Amino acid sequence: MRSTSFLWNVCKSSFTFGLIGLTVSDRVASVVRVRGLSMSPTFNPPNNTSLGLFTDDHVLVEKRCLTDYKFSHGDVVVFCSPRNYKEKQIKRITGMPGDWISVPFSYDAVRIPEGHCWVEGDNPTDSLDSRSFGPIPLGLIRGRVTHVLWPPQRVGKIDKKLPRSGLSF
């Protein structure tokens, strides 16, 4: 009798804890692991050891920005990939609605439509971003990255790097 009530209490508290944890991670902030080299050297700077769970960067993603979607140039955001909704990507916003972006290797210029943004990785050689799939709707954004939490020697706030001059006007 005592063991079943103990089990019931464990179930109840883990359910409550799960609900609260899920609400906090949806509305306030959550921790996300950064995979890949598209945001080097901001995340996962090049080094000799291989990438793995303990050497990948872990970052804090804040969700308070999703109530009014007020983003600006230089924000690093997490968004669902427009090619595959199950994948999430981390890139930096380099263009907001109304900006003109020059397409590389061509004389065209693309105007970013209302409600969309242009995202690029900090490492242009190893990054699949808006240069391949075009501007993404702001509704795909799932959070803004504010701090690096792991590894301990690089814990700190992320810089808001503005886009390189001459690209958008």
Partner 1 sequence: MKLLFGKWTAIAKESIDRAAIVAKFLCLLHVTNTYIFSPTLVYGPSMLPTLNLTGDVVLSEYVSHRLGKVGPGDVVLIQSPENPRKMITKRVVAMEGEVVSFLVDPSRSDRSRTVVVPKGHVWIQGDNIYASNDSRNFGPIPYGLIQGKVWCRVWPIDGFGSL
Residue closer to partner 1 (CB basis): 73 or 88: 88
Smallest gap, in angstroms, from Cβ of residue 69 to partner 1? 5
Residue 38 appears among annotated catalytic residues: yes
Taking CB under 8 A as the criterion, the residue among 34, 37, 112, 140 binding partner 1 is 140
Stretch in the footprint of partner 1 (CB under 8 A) among 47-55, 107-115, 123-131, 145-153: 107-115
Does 132 participate in binding partner 1 (rule CB under 8 A)?
Answer: no
**Owner of token pair 């427009």:** 82
* Contact present, 118 and 92 (Cβ < 8 Å): no
Q: What is the largest CA-CA distance in the chain?
A: 78
| Alpha-carbon distance values, 12 to 3, 9, 16, 25 (Å) | 14, 5, 6, 20
| DSSP helix, strand, coil percent of the chain (3-state; round to 5) | 25, 30, 45
> Annotated catalytic residue: which of 5, 81, 91, 160?
91
Please give the residue ranges that form the binding site for partner 1 (CB under 8 A).
16, 19-20, 22-23, 26-27, 68-69, 79-86, 113-116, 136-141
